[in-house]
Amino acid sequence: MMSEFIIRNGHVFDPVQGIKGDKKDIAVKDGKIVESVSSGARVINAAGKTVMAGALEIHAHVAGPKVNAGRWYRPEDKHFDSHKKPGMTRIEGGKSIPTVFKTGYEYARMGFTFAMEAAMPPLYARHVHEEIHDTPIIDEAALPVFGNNWFILEYLKNHEVENTAAYIAWVLRQTKGYGVKCVNPGGTEAWAWGLNCLTIHDPVPYFEITPAEIIKGLIEANEFLGLPHSMHLHQNDLGNPGNYKTTIDSLKLAEGIKARNNFGREQVLHSTHLQFHSYGGTNWGDFESKAKEVMEYVNKQKNLTIDTGNVTLDETTTMTADGPFEHHLHGLNHLKWFNVDVELETAAGIVPFIYDPSNAVFCSQWAVGLEIPLYAKDPMRCFITTDHPNAGPFTRYPRVYSWLMSKKVRDELLNGFKKADKVIGATTLANIDREITLYELAAMTRAGPAKALGLSKDYGGLKPGMNADIAIYNINPDKFPSTGPEIEKAFANVAYLFKDGKICVEEGKVVDMGKKQTFWVDAKVKENKQVMHDVREKFLRYYSVNENNYPVPESYAPHQHIISVDATQ
Amino acid sequence: MNTVTLTVKNAPELFLECENVNPDVFAGKKADQIAKLGAFQGKEITTLGDYFTIAGEAGATAAETKIVINGDCTKMKYIGAKMTAGEVVVNSACDMYTGSWMKGGKLVVNGDVHSFCGLAMAGGEFTINGNAGNYLGAAYRGDWRGMSGGVLRVKGNAGSDVATFMTGGEMIIEGNVDIHLGTHMEGGKIILKGNANRRVGGQLVKGEIYVFGSINVMMPGYKPVRDVDLEVDGTKAKFTEYIGDLGERHPKRKGETVYGKLYMKQ
């Protein structure tokens, strides 16, 4: 039996109810937020503190084969940083690719209660679920990748949206997946022929389909099913100067499509780590920010959401299903390169990367990442990520918040860069005065991502009836900390974290491992003989595993939270 | 300079991680404060006082601090690791990571050191008056940043994979080495007074290796270009100069390709 709590006198920030820092009491009973509790409830004094819902991570690489490959091929990432902290926690290793234990603890210490693994190769879904199951405290889900999958390419070549949807529903059930991820549509498959798709009109060899057709078809299939989350897109031509045109071209594909779902989700396309896709110029010499142009389009287009992908200027590990991009990166920095091809489905690459603050390009990337949220008119549609670990480790969120919330803090860094003049010339950050407020931050990290993931009924807010996932920070909004390190410290160590109505972190110290759950979406579709025939045939002809060994067994995800969708109508 | 003397009173059951045994951490501390410094034994946090009798007190700064360690340290790791100044003398053999990531000061081990010592050393003087194990002055496992500065001298032999990914500094091995000397080297200088087994300078991009003895099997990517008279670590002799590794990428400087150099004493 859970106990009752009353969180008294905290400054509450909740975009779900429109509460902007008013002093309010929050009552908790049996894992839910309630109107009132009995007099026996434990009192948590939150006077002078900030109270928000638990944060939701919408895009991070935290579980699965490519994350683990990063761990084993980078022992140097954890050498100086793998001691045991006092208390009930286990040894915590790794900086950019932490162990599953550290991943759970660190998210919880920062006030997070949910994380989305952003790229699950369906064939290796078991490994993803093994790691998710071992990550303590936080709830998690995973997005299977579809953008280079042979079934999808064949169906969408003939614009067979219903077959695409039936296949997606089948994969979600086999892999216990949450939604539709699409990475470098067509490009990863083209790379098997030594090519890439750098615009949305480059044809994919053999399949004779373009990225534009894949993107649009997946959006339509996603809405056909009415999934809680929208299509989640990592665009073509990531990280190259001049790519912002391709970015806007891709976003335009969503024009005129309406969200169709029962989860309160309004967007039909989530464009991830937009920082990497908002570059102008023709080479690294005349490289410049186009965040303003990209965000002007995003602000107008209400059926889009985005996340930032903030560069944190750290040594990190890049890892993506965008195989050709990782090969390109290895050619730039000559560091060790890992690559794997996942049969009919996808690929992945890994390269260590040092975002050196003495390099003008990396500093400009840092600036672009901050410009995107600062240009965002609707914080409910713009979420903060570091595309962990690609642009930086997720453990740097407190530092990213300090740059967004204090012009002084970010300008000090900007003006102190070795190549400050070049960075200021190539970006517009120096001219932006906006500072993100605590209320906007709650939208960007709680209410917004919850809504985009179709979880707004129970998560991302503090309304009675919602799940009691609550973060209390040692931040007095009336005396907001003025220095970077103070802001960082406050966001890195919650005063309290409630997960499902239980205190899991107290003053930055993990005190309970919580009751983590794996979320996945079970979409019912009409029986589709064509798709089941194609599945059978592909397993017989091409897959290295038997069809019966493909699904993720129940034992791999023993604590499931299944969201059902009926797409038979 | 103040001297702190550590004498082993209890041998650790597992290996003891002595990350706090260096002049930088000791600086400004008295014996009782030093005794309270942490040391991991496995996952348990213990204190230096559990294993050592501590006499004397440290100077105000690392540069004014000398540490002398007596007793059996064969199960102690990280002695002198990351030190930036001052002096450490160990009158025993030591385990892994001794003198690794050292940036300055002087470290002397009067005994053998195990593998992975002097890793990524960036400065200072590290002298081993015994033999060294494998991966001496190399990069940490998986890392691509090896020894970049300072002087590392071994009086005896060293094992295999010595000076992997070396980018600077000087290493002198007075005895012999096993396979893989200076693999992936991109700078710095290795002087080998004895013999090497196989694969010396494999995938070497830049840097110099001097061999006084013989190499059991020479790498195929090396080409003799001329004879030179040199004075190397106090010895005057005629050497054959090779360039290589010809199978590796090489940078260009003023239009000229820069090769790594291997000098064999005639």
A40 touches chain B (CB under 8 A): no
Contact A83 B40 (CB under 8 A): yes
Contact A75 B140 (CB under 8 A): yes
Take residue A84 and report the two structure tokens written for it: 């045991």
Contact A75 B40 (CB under 8 A): no
Average pLDDT, whole number, for chain A?
A: 96
B46 touches chain A (CB under 8 A): no
pTM tops 0.90: yes
Contact residues, chain A, for B40 at CB < 8 Å = 83
pLDDT value at A352 more than 90: yes
pLDDT value at A567 more than 60: yes
d(CA A257, CA A231): 12
Contact residues, chain B, for A335 at CB < 8 Å = 144
Contact A75 B144 (CB under 8 A): no
The answer to whether A498 and A468 are in contact (CB under 8 A) is yes
User: At CB < 8 A and 24+ separation, what contacts does A534-537 make?
Assistant: A534/A151, A534/A154, A534/A167, A535/A151, A535/A167, A535/A170
Q: Which residues of chain B have pLDDT under 50?
A: none
Report the pLDDT value the prediction gives residue A79, as an integer from 0 to 100: 87
d(CA A31, CA A503): 10
Q: Which residue among A74, A83, A91 places its CB closest to the CB of B142?
A: A74
A73 touches chain B (CB under 8 A): yes
Contact A76 B143 (CB under 8 A): yes
A91 touches chain B (CB under 8 A): yes
Is beta strand B16-17 parallel, antiparallel or unpaired with respect to B170-173?
unpaired
- The arithmetic mean of pLDDT across residues A386-390, rounded, is 97
* Widest Cα–Cα separation across chain A: 70
Q: Which residue among B43, B142, B144 places its CB closest to the CB of A75?
A: B142
CB proximity list for A488: less than 8 A, separation 6 or greater: A398, A399, A401, A402
Chain A residue with minimum CA distance to B81: A80
Look at residues B233, B242, B237, B239 and name the one whose alpha carbon lies nearest to residue B262: B242
Chain B residue with minimum CA distance to A333: B144
Going A176 to A179 to A182 to A186, the CA torsion angle's sign is positive
The nearest CA of chain B is from the CA of A127 a distance in Å of: 23
Exposure class string for A417-443: b at 16+ Cβ within 10 A, else e = bebeebbbebbbbeebeebbbbbbbbb
d(CA B259, CA B257): 6
Report the pLDDT value the prediction gives residue A84, as an integer from 0 to 100: 80
The nearest CA of chain B is from the CA of A388 a distance in Å of: 21
pLDDT value at A498 more than 60: yes
Chain A residue with minimum CA distance to B19: A80
Report the pLDDT value the prediction gives residue A218, as an integer from 0 to 100: 98
d(CA A56, CA A499): 12
Contact B144 A335 (CB under 8 A): yes
| Chains A & B: contacts with CB separation below 8 Å | 21
pLDDT value at A1 more than 60: no
Report the pLDDT value the prediction gives residue A170, as an integer from 0 to 100: 98
pLDDT value at A2 more than 60: no
Could you report the per-residue pLDDT of A236-245, keeping only the tens digit for each? Answer: 999 999 999 9
Could you report the per-residue pLDDT of A56-81, keeping only the tens digit for each? Answer: 999 999 999 999 999 999 999 998 87
* Widest Cα–Cα separation across chain B: 62
Chain B residue with minimum CA distance to A89: B43
Contact B140 A79 (CB under 8 A): yes
Could you report the per-residue pLDDT of A457-467, keeping only the tens digit for each? Answer: 999 999 999 99
d(CA A98, CA A514): 20
B234 touches chain A (CB under 8 A): no
User: Residue type for B235, please?
Assistant: T
Could you report the per-residue pLDDT of A298-309, keeping only the tens digit for each? Answer: 999 999 999 999
* B:128-167 residues touching chain A, CB 8 A cutoff: 139-144
A84 touches chain B (CB under 8 A): yes
In the beta sheet, which residues pair with residue B189? B170, B208
Chain B residue with minimum CA distance to A82: B43
Chain A residue with minimum CA distance to B38: A83
Mutate to test the interface with A, among B143, B205, B206, B250 (most CBs of A within 10 A): B143
Report the pLDDT value the prediction gives residue A80, as an integer from 0 to 100: 83
Q: Tell me the angle at which helices A150-157 and A529-541 cross, rounded to the nearest 10 degrees.
A: 140
The nearest CA of chain B is from the CA of A251 a distance in Å of: 40
Report the pLDDT value the prediction gives residue A514, as an integer from 0 to 100: 95
A336 touches chain B (CB under 8 A): yes
Report the pLDDT value the prediction gives residue A43, as an integer from 0 to 100: 97
Could you report the per-residue pLDDT of A264-311, keeping only the tens digit for each? Answer: 999 999 999 999 999 999 999 999 999 999 999 999 999 999 999 999
Backbone angles phi, psi at A221, to 5 degrees: -65, -40
The answer to whether A209 and A189 are in contact (CB under 8 A) is no
Percentage, residues of chain A above pLDDT 90: 96
- The arithmetic mean of pLDDT across residues A410-419, rounded, is 98
Mutate to test the interface with B, among A76, A84, A97 (most CBs of B within 10 A): A76
Report the pLDDT value the prediction gives residue A217, as an integer from 0 to 100: 98
A335 touches chain B (CB under 8 A): yes
Residue recorded with tokens 């050393």: B121
- The arithmetic mean of pLDDT across residues A314-324, rounded, is 94
B250 touches chain A (CB under 8 A): no
ipTM of the complex: 0.86
Helix (H) or strand (E) holding A369: helix A360-375
d(CA A449, CA A158): 33
SS3 per-residue string spanning A247-306: HHHHHHCCCCCCCCCCCCCCCCEEECCHHHHCEECCCCCCCEECHHHHHHHHHHCCCEEE
d(CA B60, CA A39): 58
The answer to whether B101 and B137 are in contact (CB under 8 A) is no
d(CA A28, CA B81): 50
The nearest CA of chain B is from the CA of A331 a distance in Å of: 13
Distances (CA, A) of A221 to A115, A161, A178, A256: 24, 5, 14, 15
Distances (CA, A) of B119 to A68, A481, B103, B138, B260: 25, 41, 11, 5, 22
Could you report the per-residue pLDDT of A145-187, keeping only the tens digit for each? Answer: 999 999 999 999 999 999 999 999 999 999 999 999 999 999 9
* Full DSSP string of A507-552: TTEE-------EEEEEEE----HHHHHHHHHHHHHT-SS-GGGSS-
Could you report the per-residue pLDDT of A88-127, keeping only the tens digit for each? Answer: 999 999 999 999 999 999 999 999 999 999 999 999 999 9
CB proximity list for B134: less than 8 A, separation 6 or greater: B115, B116, B158, B159, B160, B161, B162, B178
d(CA B100, CA B126): 10
Contact A75 B45 (CB under 8 A): no
